[in-house]
Structure 1
Amino acid sequence: MASVPPSLMSFTKECLAQGVARTEIRQALIDAGWTDREATAALESFAESPLPVPVPRKRVSSGPRAAFLHLLALFLLYMAAFSTGAILFLAIDIFIKDPANRSFFDLGGSARFNAAVLIASLPVLLLVRRAIMRDIALNPANRIAPVVRTLAYITLLITSLIMVGDMVVVLMGFLNGDLTLTFILKSIVVLLLAGGIFLWYISGLAFEEKMGNSQREETSIRESQWRPRLAWAGFLTASLSLVLALWIAGNPFNQRLVRLDRQRISDLRSLQGAISRFHKKEKRLPKSLSELKGSPDTYVDRTSDSITGIPYVYKPINKSSYRLGAVFDLPTPSYDDNSTRSKDGFYEHDAGLQNFDLTVK
């Protein structure tokens, strides 16, 4: 319920105390320049009672519990929305290959992080929303508490700016001739997520206005039927995104093996660099990998697998070509796009022994 200026409150109270009809008070206030909403708010500040003096209604206030629950719910909603959008972006990049938009980060790692955020935030968000709805059921006036309205308007501001920014980016892309399919799909994702949150909160504020301006009991007012459907659509979208993230991330029990394979790739790169430096200095290839440790310029920390202890494969082929190899636990993940920017070929490998024929530069 909107706050009522003290002068308006005092005038309304005095009129009611003298027995002036509410319709006459309302009309007098409107004639004096007050809006119908302000007049209604002033009259609604006092309950209809047979007593000879006006009976003030209980003012809705937000206690620490309401502030905590609504702030927590809003923060969790932001977390879930951003993670859902990030996962959908990853899915678009994976399913729709764009040569001009290659990923320069670990897709699997990003998918695992956002999946963890959704797994942690969604259940807590549902529990917090349940607690909020339970409080509203006990006291419907809690729905129009000041903290609720303030957070709702802050969210409307944020989502409005996001949607406007999204439209600006789309228009800039159109004017620059960069409207690719991935660009359009990502813009739609942003618009739908921000627009869904915007519709949820704007409809909630509209419902609160009905509660604040109605002279009937608050419990007689019903929300729009599509609001629960919007909530379910958001939940299903987040759930689908979680499934996609888990698929992109792969089997969690294999992630340690993936990291070990990447360590082997890093070791092979170090050996490749050391061999190139050795060849540049000595004008020949080393006879064995142990020969690299004889000079600070070519020293490498590991010449064998740090887990299995198996030495890395090394075999000179001719004066400038050689073979490096290692035993990998898993093949290169299907989502790993790092091979597109790697020229040494170490990213592409199968499970088991994999040899790479290289040439010094």
Structure 2
Amino acid sequence: MKPSDQISEFVRGALAQGSTPEAIRAALTRAGWSAPEIAEALAGWSAEPGLPPVPHPRPYASAQEALLYGLLFLSLGVIAWHLCQLGMALIDMLIPDLTDRYRGGSSERWSIASLIVFTPLFLLLNRRIGRLARRDAGRRRSLVRKWFASLTLMVATVVFMADAIYLVYTFLNGDLTLRFMLKAGLVAGVAALVLVYYRAEMDG
């Protein structure tokens, strides 16, 4: 039996015998359990008059949701990457660098093709996940959902901070140009959109 199951069973049994949460907390503290472990175990049960301890819903993980959120995460990453690629190509076209002989072409077509494929996939997956969550509010407790949302937030935050650091470095180095500022703003804007989207997802 896992430690989390041990303490959960103890809390259930203690509540069934009429012990108060304060007494249970004190006993577990004396036994060496940490405050977060005790709080989590107590949060898993509630005492109701005339009833045995009532279990509270707990986070869960499923293979189906791992597939859905994995594809959603992949689609969002591909879309964000190729949006930046296309945006930078557009900036290069509008503000050309005379020392750069590269004219692009194939990379832009590749980005457009990727967006044509992955944007509908992202929208369909997002719609399906939203529909499932509306039908069953318990899906909001999915560990897979929380892990993928947290991972996406971390990646977007790292990209945003790295972009800001490079912008400051370029400014201090005296190489700050309009072209560079537009590209940095593009990357920051895409990262910010991802942050806003998944922040709402985490709060939802």
Structure-2 separation of matches of 1:150 and 1:201: 11
Given candidates 145, 148, 153, the residue that maps to 1:148 is: 145
Aligned position for 1:115: 112
Q: Highest relative contact order (Cα 8 Å, sep 6+), 1 or 2? A: 2
Structure-2 separation of matches of 1:20 and 1:178: 69
Aligned position for 2:175: 178
Query: What letter corresponds to residue 144 of structure 1 in structure 2?
Result: R
Aligned position for 1:80: 79
Structure-2 separation of matches of 1:131 and 1:31: 44
Aligned position for 1:34: 35
Aligned position for 1:69: 68
Max radius of gyration: which structure?
Answer: 1
SS at match of 1:5: helix
Structure-1 separation of matches of 2:150 and 2:119: 23
SS at match of 1:62: coil
Query: What letter corresponds to residue 69 of structure 1 in structure 2?
Result: L
Structure-1 separation of matches of 2:39 and 2:198: 24
Structure-1 separation of matches of 2:119 and 2:78: 9
Aligned position for 1:45: 44
Give CA deviations for 1:277-312 in whole Å, capped at 9, x if unaligned. Answer: xxxxxxxxxxxxxxxxxxxxxxxxxxxxxxxxxxxx
Structure 1 range deviating more: 74-83 or 44-53 = 44-53
Contact 1:62 1:142 in 2 (8 A): no
Please report how far the alpha carbon of residue 56 of structure 1 lies from its aligned counterpart in structure 2 after TM superposition: 2.5
Please report how far the alpha carbon of residue 25 of structure 1 lies from its aligned counterpart in structure 2 after TM superposition: 5.6
Structure-2 separation of matches of 1:140 and 1:29: 34
Residue 104, structure 1, aligned to residue 105, structure 2: no
Cα RMSD between the aligned structures?
2.8
Query: What letter corresponds to residue 45 of structure 2 in structure 1?
Result: F
Contact 1:12 1:25 in 2 (8 A): no
Give CA deviations for 1:202-246 in whole Å, capped at 9, x if unaligned. Answer: 4433x2xxxxxxxxxxxxxxx4xxxxxxxxxxxxxxxxxxxxxxx
Structure-2 separation of matches of 1:124 and 1:13: 45
Contact 2:14 2:24 in 1 (8 A): no
Residue 20, structure 1, aligned to residue 22, structure 2: no
Alignment of 1:137-286 (within 5 A): 137-205=134-202, 207=203, 223=204
Cα distance change of structure 1 residues 143 and 50 upon mapping to structure 2, 3 Å threshold: same
Residue 54, structure 1, aligned to residue 53, structure 2: yes
Please report how far the alpha carbon of residue 7 of structure 1 lies from its aligned counterpart in structure 2 after TM superposition: 4.9
Cα distance change of structure 1 residues 171 and 86 upon mapping to structure 2, 3 Å threshold: same
Cα distance change of structure 1 residues 51 and 138 upon mapping to structure 2, 3 Å threshold: farther
Residue 128, structure 1, aligned to residue 129, structure 2: no
Query: What letter corresponds to residue 120 of structure 1 in structure 2?
Result: V
Cα distance change of structure 1 residues 150 and 30 upon mapping to structure 2, 3 Å threshold: same
* Superposition TM-score, scaled by structure 1 size: 0.49
Please report how far the alpha carbon of residue 77 of structure 1 lies from its aligned counterpart in structure 2 after TM superposition: 0.5
Query: What letter corresponds to residue 15 of structure 2 in structure 1?
Result: L
Structure-2 separation of matches of 1:199 and 1:28: 41
* Superposition TM-score, scaled by structure 2 size: 0.82
Q: Which structure is higher in strand share?
A: 1
Cα distance change of structure 1 residues 142 and 50 upon mapping to structure 2, 3 Å threshold: same
Structure-2 separation of matches of 1:187 and 1:93: 13
Q: Percent identity?
A: 28
